[in-house]
Amino acid sequence: MFEFPNIDPVAFWLGPFAIRWYALAYLAGFLIGWRVAMKFAGFDDDTRPTPKDVDDFLPWVIGGVILGGRLGYVLFYQPEYYFNNPVDIFKLWHGGMSFHGGALGVILMLLIWPYIHRIPHLRLADIVCAVVPIGLFFGRIANFINGELYGRVTDSPLGMVFPHGGPEPRHPSQLYEAGLEGLLLFIVLFILIRIPAVRNKPGIVSGVFLAGYGLARSFVELFREPDAHIGFIGGSYTMGQLLSAPMIIAGIGLIIFAHIRHIQYQKKTGGRE
C-alpha cells in the first residue's frame, strides 16, 4: 500500500485569494494545449485552419469547456440539488465539472465558429481533439491532489488511504485516468496527426479521440468509486460508463465516415489529394 502524499490543494495564496492546483491544472491544460495545437495547425503550410485560426478559436474552447462542463455536471450528476438551489450553479469555486458536458460544449463551438469563419469543421476538430488529453492529464492529477474521485476499496499493492475515503485503501483511479485518458491517448493522437495520410482524412483523429476516451474512461470506471449520490445504475453500471458509450459509438462512426468520404473524394478527383 502506498501512502497518500497529502499535498495541500492550495498551491499558494495571493493575499486573501487561494490559488488551487485545480485552477492551475485548467490553466496549464489550456496554455500548453493552445501552443501544441498551433504547431499542429502549421503542418500543412497555409491550409486552414492556420495557427492564427487556432489562436482565434481559443476563447471559444475555454467558454465551451467551462459552460458545458458546469451545465453537464448540473444535469448529469446533481439535477435535483441544483433545481432546488439554482444560485449554486454559478458557484464554480465549490467544484463540480463534467468532462462529458465540457466535450458537448466544445463540440457546439466546433459547429458554430468554423461555420462563421468558413473553416473545415473536421480539420479544426482533429487539431482540438489531439490536444484535449493534455488538459485531461493535468485535471486528473489535480483530482488526485484534492483526494477526490478516488477508486474502490482494494487489497492491491497500489491501494492508498484517501483523506475522505475512509480507513480502507482504495485504487488511485485518478492516476489511472491520467495515464490512459491523458498520457497514452495523447501519444496515440500525437503520432496520428503527424501522418499526412491521416490528416488527409479529416475526422480520423477526432474519431480516435472519442472512441479512445470512451474506452479508457469505461475501463477505469471499473476501479473508480461511483458517485455516492448516484451509485450504480442498472445494478452494475456507472454514470461515467453510460455517458462514455455514445462517445465510443460516435467515434467509430466518425472514423468510418472519414474513410468513406475520402474514398468518394478520390473517385471524384481521380485520385488527386
Quickly state the pLDDT bin for 237 (edges 50, 70, 90): very high
Rounded Cα gap, residues 185 and 121, in angstroms: 22
Tell me whether the omega of the peptide bond preceding residue 163 falls within 30 degrees of 0, making it cis: no
Residue 272 has what pLDDT?
Answer: 58
Q: Are strands 17-20 and 10-14 parallel, antiparallel or unpaired?
A: antiparallel
Q: Which of 127, 122, 71 is nearest to 99 (CA)?
A: 71
Q: What is the mean pLDDT of the chain?
A: 92
Give the model confidence (pLDDT) of 174-196 as tens digits: 999 999 999 999 999 999 999 99
Rounded Cα gap, residues 218 and 15, in angstroms: 42
Q: Which tops the pLDDT comparison, 210 or 270?
A: 210
Residue 231 has what pLDDT?
Answer: 87
Q: Look at residue 270 and tell me whether its pLDDT is greater than 90.
A: no
What would the grid cell of residue 168 be?
480502507
Give the model confidence (pLDDT) of 88-134 as tens digits: 888 776 678 888 899 999 999 999 999 999 999 999 999 999 999 99
Residue 271 has what pLDDT?
Answer: 61
What would the grid cell of residue 216 be?
479508457
177 exposure class (CB count in 10 Å sphere: 0-12, 13-18, 19+): buried
Domain residue ranges of the chain, discontinuous segments joined by +: 10-48+126-269
Distances (CA, A) of 58 to 46, 125, 127, 263: 19, 12, 12, 32
Give the model confidence (pLDDT) of 47-75 as tens digits: 889 999 999 999 999 999 999 999 999 98
